[in-house]
Each structure stands twice: as C-alpha cells, then as structure tokens.
Homo-oligomer: A and B are copies of this chain.
Amino acid sequence: MELNFRSDNESPAAPAIMAALAEANQGTAWAYAEDPLSERLDRAFSDLFDTPTTVVPVTTGTVANSIALACVTPPWGSIFCHRNAHIVNDEGGAPEFFGHGLRLVPVDGPEGKFTADDLERDISANEGHGIHAYVPSAVSLTQSTESGTVYQPEEISSVCTIATERGMATHLDGARFGNAIAALACHPADVSWKAGIQMMSFGASKNGCLAAEAILFFNCPDLRETAERHRKRSGHLLSKMRYVAAQLLAYIEDDLWLKLAAHANQQAARFSEAVAQHPEASLEYPVHANEVFVKWTAGGFSRLEKVGIQFLAWPGRDDLARFVFSHCTTVEETETLCVRLAESG
C-alpha cells in the first residue's frame, strides 16, 4: 500500500470540518456572503487575533494572496518576496493577473527566509530608474516558509520595519500559518499585526478543510471594498459562501487548527530524527513545522519510492525531496516511513 507524503494538500478534510458542512446545510440562506455564518467571520477572527480584523473568505491560497497583494499594489508596483515563494513559483501568474501586470521581485536568502538587510539590498539595487522602473510597493513573507522553516517574531518585525519606512505594504502568506503558530507556540498576533503585517492569507485547506482560506486585513477595514470587488470580478464570490464560512469557523473553534497542525508538526519532527540518524540522507533545512526536505542520492530516493513511499522530487534537483505531514498522517504511517527509510539505506 502506498503512503502519501507528497503534500498536505492531498489530505482529506477533518471530521469536524465535514460536520460543520453538514450543519450548515440546513434550509435556505441568503447568498453571496449575506448569510449568518459569513457574518460571524469578522468577530471570530478579531477575537482570534485580538485586534479588529476584516475577513474576506475565498477558496484557494492563490486567490487569497493575489487579491491581498492587488489591493495594495498598483500595476506599476513591485512586490518583494523570497525566491522560493509560492507567489513566484506556483501560482501560474495569478498575482500578475489580479495586479494587472505588477512585478514580483525574488529576494535570495538561506532556509527559505530573507532578512531586513536582504530586502534593503535588493530594493536599492532596483533604484535609480525613476519613471522607467517599477515602484517598490509591498513585501510578502511566507510563514511557515516554502522550506519548512519558521520566522521568529523579531525577524518578521525587522523586515516589516524596512517596508513600512519605505511606504510599502506588508503581507504574510499563511498557507501553513497553523503549523507556524503550533511550532512557535506564540499568539497569532505576535507574527502578524504586532510584527507589522497589515494583511495575510490565512490558510485552512492544507490543514483540515476542503477549500477555505481567509484574507485578513488588520486594522485597515477600508480595503474590504477593494478586496470584495476583486473577489467578485474574479468569480470567487460563491453564491453559497456559507459553506466556506462554516469551514473557517469550525477550523478556528476550540483551537482545532492548532491541534491539527501540532499533530502534523510532530510527525515531521519524528521523521526528521530518522533522517538525522540515517547514514546517507540528511536534512536540507532545519525542520520547524510540517515539511521535511531530505537531501539524498537519486538511488536512495528511488529505493524509497519502490517500497511505496510517495513524496515530492524537488523540481530541478535530483538530490532533494520534500516530505509533508498533515493532520491525517497517522503515527503508524510516520513510523512505517521511518522504518522504510532506514531499510532503504
């Protein structure tokens, strides 16, 4: 039997989420986010983040990122983000589409992160072209990162300070925000608005939902109208938004999101130990959350595949693979993986 560690994207929905859908499925409800569940979102997220929060729910992380960024970036504006960021590599041009031709500027930095200094260096390198150049307009950080690492609050804060000084907006791609918070054991506010983040994509689909993400604006309710216009004209305003709201509400109720994420992180930690003890394989990056990047030989990966382990061979690298753990990965599955890794040595 195959064991799938390809992506948390491939997990089913958690039982509590399915139950919430069933519960939402009673009788009629006004369409287009005018239903009672949708109307509870602002308060629920304001409570969660401990600050006035404007919520615009959608169904994918790609659209969440793209709308948020389009709200603060003119078509002649540029967005600085890590070279490995999802918005650069995996969104098929969505940020550029919603932003009508805006430009993403990749910033290099180790372990999927970049620093305030990296940001300053790259902004400066693009200066001096005046009207002929893009205007630096926003910074986007990913938490947890595409390398499975996690930014500390002060790391985010220092990047946001540079951005804010230059009049740039600040965005967090939180596709795996639950994993980051579970890892940091901090309050969600500490790595978002308190650290200078103005808006974020709050991911839920990877961590237990079917299809639910929330664009969050912290203390800037004026952006709601713009975000909702983008959502409508991109076909993302479902008639039956109640089902998205139901997922999001259940997801954050009683810390479900953190429990699911903590479980996933624990499986990743267990596997990272197995990798560390392996004679040949090694960890490419520190393992902070639910992703483990393993450096190994092509032959090694091939042997692992043959014994039924599915993972993601990293594009452009035959010596690197990603293993992702999710809310539904069982302890037994993780153990089996560890055993098979050792046996494939």
* Residues of A participating in the B interface, judged by any CB pair closer than 8 Å: 4, 6-7, 9-13, 18, 21-22, 25-32, 58-60, 62-64, 66, 74-76, 89-94, 96-103, 124-129, 131-135, 205-206, 210-211, 226, 228-229, 232-240, 243, 315-316, 328
- How far, in angstroms, from A52 to B128 measured CA to CA in the complex? 30
User: When the two chains form the complex, which single residue of B28, B134, B205, B228 contacts A10, counting CB atoms closer than 8 Å?
Assistant: B28
Number of copies: 4
16 pairs, A vs B, C-beta closer than 8 Å: A9-B32, A9-B239, A10-B239, A12-B25, A60-B237, A75-B96, A76-B232, A91-B233, A92-B232, A93-B233, A96-B102, A96-B233, A125-B316, A131-B237, A135-B229, A211-B243
**Could you tell me the dominant secondary structure of chain A's interface residues?**
loop
Q: Which residues of B contact A211 (CB under 8 A)?
A: 59, 238-240, 243
Residues on the B chain within 8 Å of A4, using CB = 28
Known: A21-B21, A127-B315. 18 other contacts (CB 8 A): A9-B31, A10-B28, A28-B328, A32-B132, A58-B235, A59-B211, A59-B238, A62-B232, A75-B233, A76-B93, A91-B232, A92-B131, A93-B102, A94-B235, A98-B235, A128-B316, A210-B240, A236-B236
Residue contact B89 to A132, C-beta cutoff 8 Å? yes
Nearest CB on B from A33, distance (A): 9
CA distance A228 to B21 in the complex (A): 28
Q: Among A4, A66, A99, A134, find the residue whose CB has the most chain B CB atoms closer than 10 A.
A: A134
| Partner pick for A131 among B6, B12, B32, B89, CB 8 A cutoff | B32
Shortest Cβ distance from A326 into B: residue = B28
Contact of A316 among B7, B32, B124 (CB under 8 A): B124
Q: Is the beta-carbon distance between A97 and B234 smaller than 8 angstroms?
A: yes
* Nearest chain B CB to A131 CB, angstrom units: 5
Given A101-B101, A243-B211, answer yes or no on A236-B63 (Cβ-Cβ < 8 Å).
Answer: yes
CB <8 Å contact, A92 and B233: yes
When the two chains form their complex, are residues A229 and B25 in contact, meaning their CB atoms are under 8 A apart?
Answer: no
Closest beta carbon of chain B to A322's beta carbon, Å: 12
Contact assessment for B59 and A30 in the assembled complex, using a CB-CB cutoff below 8 Å = no
Contact A76 to B101, CB < 8 A, known contacts A60-B239, A235-B58: no
A9–B234 alpha-carbon span in the complex (Å): 18
